[in-house]
Amino acid sequence: MTEEIEVFVDLTDFMHEIGAGNARGPHYIYNSLEEIKMKQPCVDQCGIVRAKLVMLEIVQGSDYSKETDHSLSYFKKYELMKQALKEISSSVENNQKKIADEILEEIK
């Protein structure tokens, strides 16, 4: 079973991280040139590569009977993160409070 799709990837990730075996990640794959330009802020500096993603084989099939992290949307995870930071900010009087306050200020 060989299925391939065209994708767009940050050139620096592709050449020096994924390609050199240093793929600590996360690395993102985009469906279009417009999408990578919109979602990857460093592409003006890092560059963009158009590549093919090829499925060689399925090494583990899907099992949707188990509940996983995917049960929470990114929006819900983001809201939970903000809630946790607010709780840290309002209850801790140390360096953690300062860090939480700085992050909350940045995401406003």
pLDDT (mean) for 13-34? 79
Residue 10 placed within a domain: yes
Largest CA distance in the chain: 57
Same domain, 38 and 79: no
Residue 101 placed within a domain: yes
**Model's pTM, two decimal places?**
0.54
| Count of domains for the chain | 2
Residue type, 98: K
The residue range of the domain holding 10 is 3-55
Residue 62 placed within a domain: no
C-alpha triplet 30, 33, 34: angle, nearest 5°: 100
pLDDT (mean) for 62-85? 73
Residue 31 placed within a domain: yes
One-character DSSP codes across 69-99: GGGS-HHHHHHHHHHHHHHHHHH--SHHHHH
pLDDT of residue 69: 55
The pLDDT-based confidence of 47 (bands split at 50, 70, 90) is very high
Same domain, 15 and 50: yes
